[in-house]
Amino acid sequence: MASRLLLALAAVVMFAAPVHAEQLVNKIAAVVNGEIVTLYDLKQLAIPELKKAGVLDPKYAESPKAKSVLKTVLENVVSEKLFLQDAERRGITVEEAEIENELRKLAQQRGLTLEKAKEQIVNEGLTVESVKERVRVSIIRQRLLGAMVGRKVVITKDEIKRFYDEHRAEFEADGKVEVSLLVFDPAVDAADVRSELSAGKISFEEAVQKYSVGPGKEQGGYLGELGKKDVSPQMLAAVEGMKDGSVSDVLALGSSKALIKLHSKTKGSLRPLDEVAQQIEAKLRAPRLEASFKEYAEKLRNNAVVDVRL
């Protein structure tokens, strides 16, 4: 339980000052608008990624892989420092009570009291103050991005309504489709197989037996009756205009090519727009937020004095 709590706290924000500051070395990894990032700090922050890459052992310290990990982490450190510096300029602060409340929520999500969570933090060799700093930075970052990015992304009611009208099948509460699926081996020419099916040279079930690397191969690719909410958007879009018993054109499912045979489909009751409006807004907002965030991050970097020495 303790490890899960600490992982959650670590995920709150990627970077925070290491516990053992007295072990700092003098070598500088980067200077961000006058603020120094030491090599020791960087290596401490990179421990999870170095471990994941299998190069945490000191014998790998000078390996290309370890250096690549450190450079990636340093880029993130630089970005984080630029965010925090901008937040300070804008007077964005966090009260101690807010940090305690966030810690309490994280602990409660894992069935712990705040006091017990703090005990486990200490038992893991961390300090409560270092974890609080992670939470503080996370809250500041969220507020900064909300102010600088979120306010620039506006989703109109017309856009929400248009998406709803164009994707009604996604919002059918109990609609169902009965389908079979053929997922092609990459070495197979999917278009040729589709042509054979159209010409009646081979049945769908025979094609599945011969060419499919997907599920239900022994059953001719039969997946049964599925709730529309359990079907991928690509599959749902493919079957929407199909007739019972027909086979789709070749479509992409992830990185694979596939064919779908529709046995039957049942329309469900359509969820009202006001019930799904927030869901639609979030879906439309996500890519625009990402684009706006990149623009904001690039502007910070372009206006900063960053000296990377790694």
Q: Does the pLDDT at position 138 exceed 50? A: yes
273 part of a folded domain: no
98 part of a folded domain: yes
Residue 253 and residue 121 in one domain? no
282 part of a folded domain: no
The CA distance from 301 to 75, in Å, is 11
Q: What is the pTM of this model?
A: 0.53
275 part of a folded domain: no
Instruction: Check residue 8 and give its pLDDT.
Output: 52
164 part of a folded domain: no
Percentage of the chain with pLDDT > 70? 92
Residue 146 and residue 177 in one domain? no
Residue 219 and residue 117 in one domain? no
288 part of a folded domain: no
Q: Which domain holds residue 197?
A: 173-266
Q: Does the pLDDT at position 21 exceed 70? A: no
Residue 145 and residue 196 in one domain? no
Q: How large is the average pLDDT for residues 23-41?
A: 82
Residue 191 and residue 130 in one domain? no
274 part of a folded domain: no
Residue 92 and residue 191 in one domain? no
| CATH code of residue 199 | 3.10.50.40
Instruction: Check residue 17 and give its pLDDT.
Output: 39
The one-letter code for the residue type at 156 is T
Instruction: Characterize the bridge pairing of strands 256-266 and 251-253.
Output: antiparallel
Instruction: Characterize the bridge pairing of strands 306-308 and 28-32.
Output: antiparallel
Place of tokens 């703090």: 118
- Number of domains into which the chain is organized: 2
DSSP strand E in the chain: where? 28-32, 35-38, 176-183, 222-227, 251-253, 256-266, 306-308
Residue 77 and residue 131 in one domain? yes
Q: Which region, left, alpha or beta, applies to residue 274 given φ > 0 means left and ψ of -120 to 50 means alpha?
A: alpha
Instruction: Check residue 53 and give its pLDDT.
Output: 86
- For residue 14, give the DSSP letter: S
| CATH code of residue 118 | 1.10.4030.10
Residue 148 and residue 177 in one domain? no
- Residues 81-93 as b/e (b if ≥16 CB within 10 A, e otherwise) read bbbbbbbeeeebe
- Residue 90's contacts (CB-CB under 8 Å, 6 or more residues apart) are 144, 147
By mean pLDDT, which of 20-34, 115-129, 230-244 is the weakest?
Answer: 20-34
Residue 13 and residue 136 in one domain? yes
- Under the banding of pLDDT at 50, 70 and 90, the label for residue 182 is very high
Cα four-point dihedral sign 45, 145, 104, 106: negative
Residue 137 and residue 191 in one domain? no
Residue 71 and residue 202 in one domain? no
pLDDT digits (tens, 9 = 90+) for 204-250: 999 999 999 888 888 899 988 888 777 777 788 888 888 999 999 99
Cα four-point dihedral sign 301, 303, 304, 307: positive
Residue 136 and residue 14 in one domain? yes
